[in-house]
Amino acid sequence: MTSSLPRKFAALTALVLGVLMLLMGGGHLYAVTGDALAQDRPLDYRLVSLITTGGLLVLPGIVGLVCLKWLWQGRSWAYGMCILSGSALMVYLMLLLAIEERDPTRVGSELELAAAVVAIFVAVMAGTWLYLKIQARRSR
């Protein structure tokens, strides 16, 4: 396997999953704000929390798409940015999954899908970063 293949795979993964995370976050924001405007309720803690969730879903997608060029080039900092943004979202989603298990709501399957997408994103970025580090040590 050439050393450029994992970099290209990671960049393509960032592209596909980044767009998917943007769509999930955008869909979430659209649904939440649309529902809030239809109810004509004032801004409250629950609504702000739901809007924040949409923003958190969008963030790793934006980071992945912005860093595409540098992921393709194998820049360590770009992988680090993707890993950090994805890991932050992963921790948040794990907390929501724990709450969902204790007190089920109607968003279980969507939450599981989002967690799976983010887990794949983080795993590919971390795996590629680790592979590049090992290759760099071997070439010394």
The pLDDT > 90 percentage for the chain reads 61
Q: Which domain holds residue 119?
A: 4-138
d(CA 59, CA 25): 9
Q: Does 57 or 44 have the greater pLDDT score? A: 57
Residue 94 has pLDDT above 70, yes or no: yes
d(CA 113, CA 121): 12
Q: Summarize pLDDT for 60-75 with one digit per residue, the tens.
A: 999 999 999 999 999 9
If one counts the domains in the chain, the total is 1
